Amino acid sequence: MYYVTKRLEISAAHRLALDYESKCTSLHGHNWIVTVHCRAKELNSNGMVTDFTDIKRLVTDRLDHACLNDVLPFNPTAENIARWICDNVDNCYRVDVQESEGNIASYEKDL
């Protein structure tokens, strides 16, 4: 099995739709750390699991310096963002999204 990991930092704002009172329902920003884990039994025709540029294109080019509510079709919690990235990157099996020091959400596909 081959494994690759891509770590990115993005700056983005969001506001959460919550069913309780929270300051997170107001627009605010984070310097997010996103770690994307991919794996494959066989390498593609270019000798890669997944091209790091493709991961950057999806995460950084779409989300950096954006209001996540405007570019994602769901409530942009760290958990939902992690799943969306995992579902949209080839061979991705796990994504960790850190929105602030000590707050990390992970999504991992079932085997």
Spans of all domains in the chain:
2-108
* Residues 51-55, mean pLDDT to the nearest whole number: 97
| pTM summary value | 0.95
Q: Give the model's pLDDT for residue 94.
A: 98
Encode burial over 57-88: b for 16+ CB neighbours within 10 A, e otherwise.
ebbeebbeebebbeebeeebbbebbbbbbbee
Asked whether the predicted pLDDT for residue 108 surpasses 80, the reply is yes
Q: Give the model's pLDDT for residue 111.
A: 66
Q: Beta 28-40 vs 92-100: how paired, if at all?
A: antiparallel
Asked whether the predicted pLDDT for residue 54 surpasses 80, the reply is yes
The CATH architecture annotation of domain 2-108 reads 2-Layer Sandwich (3.30)
Using a pLDDT cut of 90, give the percent of the chain over it: 97
